[in-house]
Amino acid sequence: MVAEKLLIKNLKQGREEAYRQLIEEYGNKLLKTCCLILKDREEAEDVVQETFIRVFNKINTFKEQSGLYTWIYAIAINLSRDRIRIRQDILELKDEWIGNEDVESQVEMNIDRELLRKEIFTMNSLYREILVLFYFEELSIKEISNLLNEKEGTIKSKLFRGRNILKESLLKGGR
Amino acid sequence: MENKDKLGIEIKSIMEEETFDLTLSQKALDNIIQHSKKSLKTKIREFLNREIEIPVAPAIIGFAALLAVTLIPGDLFKSQDIKIIDMGGSYVIIREGYEVSRK
């Protein structure tokens, strides 16, 4: 916490070594997360670059009400969403919703990894985003809720639906 | 919604496999640093717009001291230099610093 405060102070003073430290700390992690959400390495790298440039230019407006990490991730996720929106990749939630709520308790399956892999990267990015933050980043529901500025209930619901989509597909053996 | 269940473990494992060799390129890093350097104009604008924090107690004390120095006359506490001369029972008081002139 003290180290983070010092880092923020140095960033606010515009010190290049602080910029490099921040990129070293979060750069690769952020790139992986964005790549999983966007399904495109180059686009993910663009988003990471844009995120850091924005962070460095706006650091003086950072009020430290949330952690630096949360703030950076929120910027990156928003930029990723913008990219996805441009691609018109986001479908209406109702179109994607697969309604069998019993699936969650029903399945103790042999997971077909290749099918699961395919499903993760073809599912609606709204659900994939939550799955990435929850499983890959290992953030809690509360942390995701703060990061995306959405209610915890909404996050839980999206996570539940995302898991159900995957389970349904696995049960059916692919769509 | 355990993230340690079988599905959760598989999801995490697949995501890690997909991204294990991903690193930010040197070009991207240089690009970020280059674009983050602030121009003189930006620095001046930030300087003018910066927020400063003034601790209240020292500020009040300082302000009060400044007021005291400017409002209280300088010779208030200065002792007057008085000479009393006894001239055959009459006392003449001479004060220095006072100038009496007659037009």
Whether B99 has a pLDDT exceeding 90, the answer reads no
Dump the DSSP string for B7-50.
Answer: HHHHHHHHHHHHHTT----HHHHHHHHHHHPPPHHHHHHHHHH-
How many domains does the structure of chain B reveal? Answer: 1
Of the two residues B94 and B56, the one the predictor is more confident about is B56
Does an H or E element contain B92, and which?
Answer: strand B90-95
> Does residue B94 belong to the interface with chain A, where contact is any CB pair within 8 Å?
no
What is the pTM (predicted TM-score) of this model? 0.69
Chain B residues in contact with A160 (beta carbon < 8 A): 1
CB pairs under 8 A between A and B: 88
Residue B38 lies in a domain: yes
Tell me how far apart the alpha carbons of residues A160 and A145 are, in angstroms, rounded to a whole number: 15
Residues of the domain holding B57: 6-73
Whether B64 has a pLDDT exceeding 90, the answer reads yes
Residue listed under structure tokens 């405060």:
A5
Q: What is the pLDDT of residues A72-112, one digit of tens each?
A: 999 999 999 898 888 765 555 544 444 455 555 555 556 77
All domains in chain A, ordered by first residue: 2-87 (1.10.1740.10), 93-172 (1.10.10.10)
Residue B37 lies in a domain: yes
A107: closest CA of chain B, how far (Å): 10
